Amino acid sequence: MEVSIEPTWKSKLQGEFEKDYFLKLAQFVKEEYKTKTIYPPGSLIFNAFNLCPFQNVKAVIIGQDPYHGPGQAHGLCFSVRDGVDFPPSLNNIFKEIESDTGIQKPKNGNLERWASQGVLLLNATLTVRAHQAGSHQKKGWEEFTDRIIGILNNEKQNLVFFLWGAYAQKKGEAIDRSNHLVLESVHPSPLSASRGFFGNKHFSKCNDYLTEHGVEPINWR
């Protein structure tokens, strides 16, 4: 089937778009957008890929679901649109960045600036019903995003994967640690951040690794 996605990703994923699970997923998602309020807007489902072409990927942050409140989700995990209040997990991410690197908390939580530098902000599930967390889980998105992680793992070298929380760690358990840096900690949620997210120094560790391998580090502003 025809999917509107950035060309380098399209070339990698075209075979996936023809598989039965994806065709069923596409039909489900299409019907959901017709009958319910779904986030993000349909044009932004593949925003993470459109802003970070395959050849540009340096680092991958794995989230779970899009935000399910109005005006928040725009296709990048943990990110919100300009002018939207920082959700608690994102607020804690910026706290750790400031503690780790000295970069002060920015004025907005739109992480397109990270995506443009090669950070793939990948949710495991790419759509969700308004106010219903997890409502599009187990419909096929997880299989699709597992395939993406597999392609990155197998076809790239020296990526940095951020796996925060048990869900992301399970999703990334097959990543080859001899070819990539895998950074694991508890989730930045207020429920867990004080038990090992704060002080994990993942952002400086990422940049040290990229620099060691001759790759331009990320400006975590």
- Residue 194 in this model has a pLDDT that exceeds 90: yes
What pLDDT was estimated at residue 160?
A: 98
Percent of the chain with pLDDT over 90: 99
What pLDDT was estimated at residue 143?
A: 98
pLDDT in tens, 4-62: 999 999 999 999 999 999 999 999 999 999 999 999 999 999 999 999 999 999 999 99
Q: Please indicate whether residue 65 is annotated as part of the active site.
A: yes
CA 158 to the chain's CA centroid? 18
pTM: 0.97
Residue 175 main-chain phi, psi, to 5 deg: -65, 135
Q: Which residues contact residue 21 at a Cβ distance below 8 angstroms, ignoring those fewer than 6 apart? A: 140, 143, 144
pLDDT in tens, 99-111: 999 999 999 999 9
Beta strands in 10-150 (DSSP E): 38-39, 59-63, 119-123, 128-129
What pLDDT was estimated at residue 1?
A: 84
Catalytic option among 20, 65, 85, 100:
65
CB 159 within 8 A of CB 58: yes
Q: What is the mean pLDDT of the chain?
A: 97
Higher pLDDT, 2 or 50: 50
pLDDT mean over 83-102: 97
* Residue 43 DSSP class: G
* Cα distance between residue 208 and residue 198, in whole Å: 19
